[in-house]
Chain A
Amino acid sequence: MTSAGQVGPLELLVIQPTPFCNLDCSYCYLPDRSNKRKMTLETLEKTFNWVFSSGLVRQPFTLLWHAGEPMVLPASFYEQATLKLEPCNVSGFEVTQSFQTNATLVNDAWCEFIRRRSIQVGVSVDGPDFLNDRHRVTRKGGGTLENVLRGMRMLRDHHIPFDVITVLTSTSLDYPDELFDFYIEHAVTSVAFNVEEIEGPHVTSSLSGSGIEPRFRQFYSRFMDLALASDPPLRVREFDSAYNSISHHQQPDTRTQECRPFAILNVDYEGNFSTYSPELLGLTSPRHGSFALGNVARDTLESVLAIPRFVVLDDEIRRGVDMCQKTCRYFPFCGGGPPGNKFFENGDFATTETLSCRLHKKATFDVALDKLEQMKAVM
């Protein structure tokens, strides 16, 4: 049986203080985003106590407020959360708080709180209006870019740095130059590209059609040419990640954060928790049951590690990683595909390649390698 000392250490604590989102993006994987229930401060305190007494905290970690839209709760909720976090943190390790937000609700009170508490911010925006407003829409179907830009301007006016996450769809692949212009125009200095994935209730992706992979590579290659030539260079998470993998060749037995039990802990508004890919929380499978493995009010880490649902899940994910290691030449630079993607696309964790692997890992890695070789050739 797996013991508490064999899992973790915790690297990422994802707390969903509400499933509600004020937007209704067409590619969203959250099944419950109309639900306006909120996490109580009592549940939040239990969550913190659970985390710090679990034995998982053996190094600094990030607390990510995510999913629905965290800013639908007032800044005062997070102020109280921060005040509760401090006495609960008996570990002495630093906890970096981070928000992933659509930025439409940013106001002065938010900015003041974010600055005072040195919170990291990631803004979700998909580029110019003809790209962003195609998928990132209000509950009435209206475009959202104008409000996102207002929020981004406010963050900048308060000297709050932020990263941007853009979800790429099939349409985006025709517009690398326009995306680049958008980031430069709006003073974005760091961008991460996610791909439209098949996850949860989002059962199709515009990127799963034939001919997408070469288009994706062309898009990414052209975008990287622009990003690397800009002054200062526009940072791209996928390129940095590939560069780091190439520079610091990972150990072949290294499992990624998403593949290691309790390196990520996902907690919903009711205190239910899961591990591995955050997208799994709130979902069930006929074979696995609920991916929520326990509740912070009832279950200890030791008790969860012993339940058959966790044992089966961990075994499948471990076998999936082993299969990646045996069959994929990118494994030394990847560490195993995301379990959530494997499950949603292949129906089983003990599988290998997914759309995310092909585009988000392999294609971006190959392009990064090409660019680094070109850079080396001219040096």
Chain B
Amino acid sequence: MKALFAVAPNFHCSGSWKDRLLVAEGSGWCAPHDDELASLTLTKPGSDPACCCLFSVPAHMRNRFWAMLNEEAAEGTGDFDKFSEDLANFLTFKELPPPKDSVSELLIQSPDGKVETGDVWALINFGEEPVLLTWPQLQLRLGPAEGCRMTVGLPPNVVPPPKDELNVLLAIRLGPA
């Protein structure tokens, strides 16, 4: 089983897959050639419901996320649950509803941190810099305000940020079975 990618239906993500995907080449990474790209991406959104779906979070929601974090830091009253509910409503409107009983979690990943992704339904990058998700021989550059709904059974690793930086992610995890 290998990861297949598509932009989720009803979403618009600017930029091309050539700028997002990286394939292993020797000891490094490079943009995929056209034939590799064709085997990694779906041109028709929704043609494979199980594929990794790229989506984007609107700017107003990203602003609210940071306002909520700032309020939590300053007053201790930031309402993460309310924000998570609003995010779920947005995704549901977009016909990408989180699974029933899923749980949202704020992840701050430091350069030496590891993110547990086994039960992750989706990861959303709320930081200022891209976050790299990696599968065998393959990486996805998740831009600011972009999210990825994962293929079940193909959890990625999250590449830790460079020194002195943090990855700021929101994980939507599958609930208890």
Contacts and interface: CB of A to CB of B under 8 A. Distances in A.
Interface in A168-188: 174-178, 180-181, 184-185
A177 B90 contact: yes
Given A128-B12, A175-B12, A184 B60 contact: yes
Nearest to A129: B14
Interface string A142-184: 0000000000000000000000000000000011111011001
Given A128-B12, A130-B12, A174 B60 contact: no
Contacts of B14: 130
Interface residues of B, number: 10
A47 to B, nearest CB: 45
B58 interface: yes
A222 interface: yes
A184 B93 contact: no
A185 to B, nearest CB: 7
Contacts, number: 27
A135 B71 CA distance: 42
A224 to B, nearest CB: 13
Contacts of B10: 174-175
Nearest to B13: A130
A130 B13 CA distance: 10
Given A177-B58, A177-B90, A218-B93, 13 more contacts: A128-B12, A130-B14, A174-B10, A175-B12, A176-B93, A177-B60, A177-B61, A181-B59, A184-B59, A184-B60, A185-B59, A222-B93, A230-B60
B6 to A, nearest CB: 16
B114 interface: no
25 contacts: A128-B12, A130-B12, A130-B14, A174-B94, A175-B10, A175-B12, A176-B93, A177-B58, A177-B60, A177-B61, A177-B90, A177-B93, A178-B12, A178-B58, A180-B58, A180-B60, A181-B59, A181-B60, A184-B59, A184-B60, A185-B59, A218-B93, A222-B93, A226-B60, A230-B60
Interface string B118-139: 0000000000000000000000
A185 B94 CA distance: 21
Interface string B5-31: 000001010100000000000000000
A174 B60 CA distance: 16
A374 to B, nearest CB: 15
A242 B14 CA distance: 36
Interface string B74-92: 0000000000000000100
Contacts of A177: 58, 60-61, 90, 93
Interface of B: 10, 12, 14, 58-61, 90, 93-94
Contacts of B12: 128, 130, 175, 178
A178 B61 CA distance: 11
A128 B60 CA distance: 15
Contacts of B93: 176-177, 218, 222
Contacts of B60: 177, 180-181, 184, 226, 230
Choose among B10, B58, B61 the residue with the greatest number of A CB atoms under 10 Å from its CB. B58
Contacts of A175: 10, 12
A238 to B, nearest CB: 19
Contacts of A174: 10, 94
Contacts of B94: 174
A175 B12 CA distance: 9
A174 B55 CA distance: 13
B138 to A, nearest CB: 27
Interface in A99-155: 128, 130
A176 B12 CA distance: 12
A174 B10 CA distance: 6
Contacts of A176: 93
A222 B58 CA distance: 13
A218 B14 CA distance: 25
Contacts of A230: 60
A343 B123 CA distance: 51
A74 to B, nearest CB: 37
Nearest to A181: B59
Nearest 7 interchain pairs by C-beta: A177-B58, A174-B10, A181-B59, A130-B12, A181-B58, A222-B93, A181-B60
A181 B62 CA distance: 11
A218 B90 CA distance: 12
A49 B45 CA distance: 59
Nearest to A175: B12
A280 to B, nearest CB: 36
B54 to A, nearest CB: 15
